Amino acid sequence: MVQNNPPAFPRPRGRPRKFVSAEVLDKARNAFWNTGYAATSLDDLSEATGLNRPSLYGAFGDKRALYLAALDRSRQELTASLKAALAPQEPLRRGLERVFGSAAEIYVRGEIAQRGCFLIGTAVTESVADPMIRDALSRALAEIDAEFEARLLRAQAAGELPPTARPGDLAKLATATLNGMAVRARAGGDLDTLAGFGRGLVDMICGPA
C-alpha cells in the first residue's frame, strides 16, 4: 500500500531494518538448538541469520541476549500451544493425547539429529552457571505446570477426574514426562518410543482407554 500522507511520527534516524526480527530470531534459535549455546559462535549466528555482527548487535545485543530472547520466544510459543491443545471444550484424554503426540513428533525432528526440546536441550546445561538462564528455564517450567494444572482442575470439576486426584502433582508429572521424552529423543529414541511415554501417562491420569 502506498502512503500518500506524511507519517504521523517522525522516522527514526539510521539505517532502516531490512529484516524481520522474529524470522532472524528463529534462525538464531535453530543454530543454538543444533550445537548448544556455548558451541555456537557469533560467526555461526551470522551465517545462520544472514546478518553481520553489527546488525545482530543492533537488533538483539550480544550473544547472551540473543539466546535469552530465543528462550523467551520458545517459552511463549510453548505455553500458547499447550493452552490451545488442552482445549477445555474437549475431553481431557483427547487434549492430553494431542499434547504428547505433537511433542513426540516435534522432538524427533532436527537438521543434524533429533533435537528434542529447545529449552531442555540447551538451557539445562547453561542454567548451572548463569542465573538469568536458570530463571528463564524455571519460569518456562512453571508456566507449563500451570497450564496442565488449570486443565486438570477443570477436568476434576467436570467429573473427569476423581475428587481424590491431585491436579498439582499430576501437572508436574505431565511436565516431567515431556522433559523425559525430550531427553530420550536426543538419545535417539524413535517416534513410537516417545509416544509410548505419553500414552502411559494419559492412561495413568484418565484410566485405560
What is the DSSP-derived secondary structure letter of residue 92? H
What band does 209 get if pLDDT is binned at 50, 70 and 90? Answer: confident
Q: What's the rounded mean pLDDT across residues 10-39?
A: 75
Q: What are phi and psi of 2, to 5 degrees?
A: -85, 130
114-151 per-position pLDDT tens digit:
999 999 999 999 999 999 999 999 999 999 999 999 99
Q: What's the rounded mean pLDDT across residues 180-209?
A: 96
Q: What's the rounded mean pLDDT across residues 153-166?
A: 96
**Which of 20-29, 65-74, 166-175 is the least confident region?**
20-29
What band does 2 get if pLDDT is binned at 50, 70 and 90? Answer: very low
Residue 2 belongs to some domain of the structure: no
Residue 137 belongs to some domain of the structure: yes
Residue 16 belongs to some domain of the structure: no
Residue 40 belongs to some domain of the structure: no
In Å, what is the CA distance from 190 to each residue of 116, 135, 193, 196? 11, 31, 5, 10
Q: How many domains does the chain have?
A: 1
Residue 110 belongs to some domain of the structure: yes
- How high is the pLDDT of residue 20? 59
- For residue 140, the one-letter residue type is A
Residue 191 belongs to some domain of the structure: yes
What band does 169 get if pLDDT is binned at 50, 70 and 90? Answer: very high
Residue 9 belongs to some domain of the structure: no
User: What is the pLDDT of the chain when averaged over all its residues?
Assistant: 90
Q: Give the integer Cα–Cα distance in Å for 124 and 138.
A: 10
pLDDT for 3 beyond 50: no
CATH number at residue 128: 1.10.357.10
CB 21, CB 62: distance < 8 Å: no
pLDDT for 111 beyond 90: no
3-state secondary structure (DSSP) of residue 202 = helix
For residue 192, give its domain range: 69-206
Q: Phi/psi zone of residue 110: left (φ > 0), alpha (ψ -120 to 50 degrees), beta? A: left
pLDDT for 12 beyond 80: no
pLDDT-above-90 percentage for the chain: 81
Residue 5 belongs to some domain of the structure: no
What band does 203 get if pLDDT is binned at 50, 70 and 90? Answer: very high
In Å, what is the CA distance from 42 to each residue of 28, 37, 49, 183, 200? 10, 11, 10, 27, 42
